[in-house]
Every structure is written in structure tokens, then in C-alpha cells.
Amino acid sequence: MRRLLRDKSANTLAISAAAMVPLMAMVGGGVDASRYYMATARMQAACDAGALAARRAMTDDTFTTAHRQIGLNFFDQNFNEGIYGVSGRTRNFTSDGNGVVFGNASATLPTTIMGAFGYNEFNVTVSCTAEINISNTDIMFVLDVTGSMAECPNGSDCGSGPGSKIVGLRSAVM
């Protein structure tokens, strides 16, 4: 036994075995972290798509269950249950009543290699908002002011009606 303890020829085997644990932790952390970031990025894109679709479907600031369902459908098309192995997926879209759509989603992502080190799952959570901002827009009208606009509409008498075509056009534009 003493001779075996003093023998240095098998030290490489012991060092390699001891180095496997930290190496496995580094590789496992990299693999599981990349899965986490991919799942989070995909879930964030799905949340954004759902919020934008729900807001786009709204004709005014009123948010209905139909708008919520549109947001959920867009989310589901982009991030379905089970993608990347996620489970317990929840998602919801709401509004503040002023035309802003809020979305949030969460899921549990199981680890692959890091489970050996006590890290069994990651909680993935995202949130998003969508609103329509209409900037100041200048609107220009080009009016026909040629001689034909001096005529009365439909050949009627200009004295009993709204006036000439140009008078009616100017009134409508204002």
C-alpha cells in the first residue's frame, strides 16, 4: 500500500478526474445560460408581437376580450407551450383604458447539465407595452380653382343652394 501511495505515475488520472467537476460546471453553465437567454429573447419577441397586434386591432382606446384574444393568439404563434422545454407558461394582455396595451408572460425552463449542481430550473419572465403615438402631421389639400369650379353643382341654381362648387369645396375642407 505504501508503494502505491508513493507511486507518481498515475497522478494524471487523479488530476483529470478532479478537473472534470469544474469543467462540467463551466460547460453546463454555458449551455443552460444560452438556453435561458434564447428562451427569454423569444418570449420577449412574442410578448411584443402580441401587444402590438392587440393595440393595432383597437380602433380607439377601448380594450375588449377580442383584442386580448388577438394578443394571446399572436403570442402563441411565436412562443408555444413546450418550446425550449418550458412548462407552466402564463401570458396576459391588459390595457390602462387610455390606449396602452400591457403584456406579461412567464414560464419555467428546466436546466440540462446544471441540475447536477442543484440548479433545476430557471424562471423566465418578460413584460411589454404597446401604444400608438401619432406625431404632428401637416395635412395639405390641393383645390381646383379653375373656371369649372365656379359652376353650381348638378346644374342647380347657385342662388338657392350652397353656392358654386368652389364655395362648397372650401366649406368642406374647413
State pLDDT tens for residues 139-160: 777 877 787 777 777 666 665 5
pLDDT in tens, 57-106: 998 889 999 999 999 999 999 999 889 899 999 999 999 988 899 999 99
Closest Cα partner for 153 from 131, 136, 171, 128? 171
Q: What are phi and psi of 141, to 5 degrees?
A: -115, 140
- Taking the C-alpha atoms of residue 81 and residue 96, their distance in angstroms, rounded to an integer, is 27
Q: Would you give the DSSP letter of residue 159?
A: T
Question: Residue 166: which residues within 8 A CB-CB, separation 6 or more?
Answer: 143, 144, 145, 149, 150
Distance CA 167, CA 156 (A): 14
Q: List pLDDT tens digits, range 25-61.
A: 888 788 888 899 999 999 999 999 999 999 999 988 8
Angle at 107 between CA 102 and CA 112, to 5 degrees: 150
pLDDT top residue among 131 and 25: 131
Q: What are phi and psi of 92, to 5 degrees?
A: -155, 150
Question: Is the whole-model pTM more than 0.75?
Answer: no
Closest C-alpha to 91, from 110, 83, 32:
83
3 state SS of 89: strand
What's the mean per-residue pLDDT of the chain?
85
Bigger pLDDT: 6 or 162? Answer: 6
Q: What sign does the CA torsion over 15, 21, 22, 26 have?
A: positive
Closest CA to 46 of 83, 11, 10: 83
